[in-house]
Structure 1
């Protein structure tokens, strides 16, 4: 399992209790371990880094009573009410070690102090209150600030933004030319957007690298199948056969590819910063339903059209005899390639279907209220 990220945690206290609020929405598969000395929490949910695996491990300043403590999972957070052990007192901090954790913040709604009957207790509470106020003052400037994104997040933001701009340009240029002169658009698709589609598809190879490096939480297999399949059709099948350059199927193919991406990349950009938009989420996990089958069908038809052309030119084919004693007939390879469309398409559609089932649970329109 990937290393857990740290969600924001807000804490407050009374003389007899500790209050914790973990800023994590739509929690699933939570694992909670509360002992007299600390708290360990791990779960899947939507937090500061989007949909991800999160966890915390806290060693308390003083012992607590797990039996008298409780927690509840709510739609937008997880709340803990933890009973202190021994005589009630105000803790100067939550953790045993005096360290400043960037994800740990004060819950200003839960900072409270109980009155005491004796002057000694009143004096002690006043001193502790002054200490807490000083601590609050130090952290006040950070109360509503998000941590500055790291280099990896900045890179992924730039990459996703550039891909979004590229595919948006392709879709807009093709749609404009269709509106202006549909016959011209069908026969000049490569002239209108060929350079741009090649650029974004070369850049898309990085989407195979990102999960391999652990920079995004996804499997590299679907990315490899989709990116390399597109690039094979674009750069090899179409790119090396001029008789396909003006075929009308290219317009449909490029419109389908860009239509998928112009809703996918905004979703990724929002997720990088822990943001979420129900409409964008719904579009990202719904647009593929008509577009994936149409894209697979269009790619397959282009390959079918290419087979007789490559039989005629014998390009990429190798015949015996030769120095390597090796033969390769490219039209047969294309026919074999067509054979993998059904299992590959089934795998990709199945993957998207499972992701859609999980993602739509977090959209208010598609889920019931959780107690």
Structure 2
């Protein structure tokens, strides 16, 4: 029997928990007020664990979801508090780790810039619809430089200069003086 690696993070009202078990089958996940019981099969191995939580949760408002690479759960704390749990479980377990990608310090605002959004709240279809650039034939994604108006007389230095004062080597014409006027015959 193996223990899955468990990653966790929290907010004042919820605990995020991710069990790293790829392609889990026969999943049993029981959420109680003070414990979590978990068992599954993956890659020919059996995984199981029983966690005694640091503080009580509300099992009726807590949920879990089996995805390809892991099993994710959101555990609703029984009492929302400004004080964070010091650990996920009452005793330290070697296979429980902090999920630094979701972690927010107790004093930080969870909605502050840089805080990761809850992936359950993301609308990827809307996000992709509003992206621009690069895919011909898709609305709002065509780039046509002719739509940009350039200022008249704009000089970008790439046109050839037509200067009558210079011969092919760039010097003054032999028949004209330095000022460009014709020389008087002597």
TM-score bin, normalised by smaller chain: 0.5 to 0.7
Which residue does 2:78 correspond to in 1? 85
1:96 aligns with 2:90: yes
Q: 1:77, 1:96 → 2: CA distance?
A: 23
Identify unmatched segments of 5+ residues in structure 1.
114-124, 128-371
Query: Which residue is 1:66 aligned to?
Result: 59
What CA deviation, in whole Å up to 9, does each residue of 1:316-353 have, x standing for no partner?
A: xxxxxxxxxxxxxxxxxxxxxxxxxxxxxxxxxxxxxx
Counterpart pick for 1:25 among 8, 14, 22: 22
Determine helix, strand or coil for the equivalent of 2:99.
strand
SS at match of 2:90: coil
Report what 2:158 is aligned to. Answer: none
**Which residues of structure 2 form unaligned runs of 5+?**
109-186
Deviations 1:140-181 (A, max 9, x none): xxxxxxxxxxxxxxxxxxxxxxxxxxxxxxxxxxxxxxxxxx
Post-superposition offset of 1:56: 1.2
- 2:69 aligns with 76
Greater RCO structure (CA 8 Å; 6+ sep)? 2
Measure, in 2, the Cα distance between the counterparts of 1:30 and 1:78. 9
- Which residues in structure 2 correspond to 1:284-303 (within 5 Å)? none
TM-fit CA distance, 1:87: 3.1
Please give the secondary structure, in 2, of the residue aligned with 1:108. Answer: coil
Question: 2: distance between equivalents of 1:87 and 1:21?
Answer: 21
Question: Within 2, Cα distance between the matches of 1:80 and 1:126?
Answer: 24
Q: How far, CA to CA, are the matches of 1:126 and 1:34 in structure 2? A: 29
In structure 2, how many angstroms separate the alpha carbons of the residues matched to 1:30 and 1:126?
36
Select the residue among 98, 120, 124 that pairs with 1:106.
98
Who wins on radius of gyration, i.e. which is larger? 2
C-alpha separation in 1, matches of 2:71 and 2:21: 7
Greater fraction of residues in helix: 1
Task: Tell me which protein shows more strand as a share of its residues.
Answer: 2
RMSD: 1.6
Give 1:260-271 correspondences, 5 Å limit: none
The superposition leaves residues 291-316 of structure 1 with CA deviations (integer Å, 9 ceiling, x where unpaired) of xxxxxxxxxxxxxxxxxxxxxxxxxx
